[in-house]
Amino acid sequence: MSYQAKFKVWRGDTEGGDLHDFTVEVNEGEVVLDIIHRLQATQAPDLAVRWNCKAGKCGSCSAEVNGRPRLLCMTRMSTFTEDEVVTVTPMRTFPVIRDLVTDVSFNYQKAREVPSFTPPVDLKPGDYRMQQADVERSQEFRKCIECFLCQNTCHVVRDHEENKHAFSGPRYLMRIAELEMHPLDVADRRELAQEDAGLGYCNITKCCTEVCPEHIKITDNALIPLKERVVDSKYDPIVWLGNKLFRR
Ligand code: SF4
Ligand code: F3S
Ligand code: FES
């Protein structure tokens, strides 16, 4: 069964833009990305959209559908009624390049600022040993597909461009937490988390967790434990050492 759907798609570039109206065919089982592709094929050949896998795994097709941050390839048209107008806009937190494509280099910059995994100098690769519980803890964080929907959603930067220099966003605070919880990592990133990555800006609204397509519990499993470690370090360095050694 197919029907004609009404779409509003943001079109523009660095100079500005606006919503354009389209009426487009929708077939059973299709997702929003299919409709954007049909628009390219039939009505708007120069419409810019970034995508790659169409399977929810590359993290490229992030945008906003009816104001909600979503992967275009994982948003089923059956979510909407046939008479509903579907509005597709680029992610709001990052500068537009063209149409639905944004410049996400903010995230790469923040990624570079996290010091990498630091094992003890005398530990040889063959000597690495980890408890299964530690493996599972970091495995959850490593499901991240770098779609940046959490970064786009967090209110600390979504409407506050001025905070961007001081806040790494949930994805990279989670990366710091992952390394901080790693039993073979000897670096101490707690001051970096608080002073440089802006952990204190996070007031645990959990909006990042709500939009994560990988269902990673960013707030509960990464940000709150990281906050606890930072507080512990401020008040009691012995507690921090205990955390490193025993509480993982
Ligand atoms: Fe996307 Fe989730 Fe990774 Fe954030 S944590 S970038 S929402 S997959
Ligand atoms: Fe932002 Fe997530 Fe914290 S949305 S405020 S980083 S809980
Ligand atoms: Fe890869 Fe959507 S196209 S996640």
Q: Which residues of the chain have pLDDT under 50?
A: 248
The answer, yes or no, to whether any atom of ligand 3 lies below 6 A from the CB of 73, is yes
Nearest atom (ligand 2) to Cα of 205: 7
pLDDT at 245: 65
Report CA(207)–ligand 1 centroid distance (Å): 12
H helices present in 49-94, as ranges: none
Atom 7, ligand 1: residue with shortest CA distance: 212
Instruction: Collect contacts of 212-219 with beta carbons under 8 A, ≥24 apart.
Output: 212/149, 212/150, 213/56, 213/71, 213/74, 213/145, 213/147, 213/149, 214/143, 214/144, 214/145, 216/140, 216/141, 216/143, 216/144, 216/174, 217/140, 218/150, 218/170, 218/171, 218/174, 219/170
Residue that is written with structure tokens 């996070």 in the block:
202
The pLDDT score that the predictor gives to residue 181 is 93
Give the ligand whose atoms come closest to the C-alpha of residue 62: 3
pTM for this structure? 0.92
Query: Token pair for residue 164?
Result: 């961007």
- Ligand 2 contacts CB of residue 198 (under 6 A): no
**206 C-beta closer than 6 A to ligand 2:** yes
- Where does 151-236 show beta strands of DSSP type E? none
Q: Which ligand is nearest to the CA of 214?
A: 1
CA 201 to ligand 2: nearest atom: 5
The token pair that represents 247 in the structure block:
């509480």
Q: Give the Å distances, CA to CA, from 13 to 10, 16, 64, 158, 229.
A: 10, 5, 16, 19, 43
Atom number, ligand 3, closest to the C-alpha of residue 56: 4
Taking the C-alpha atoms of residue 90 and residue 85, their distance in angstroms, rounded to an integer, is 17
Quick: pLDDT tens for 55-113: 999 999 999 999 999 999 999 999 999 999 999 999 999 999 999 999 999 999 999 99
The best mutation among 203, 205, 217 to test binding of ligand 2, ranked by most ligand atoms within 8 Å of the C-beta, falls on 205
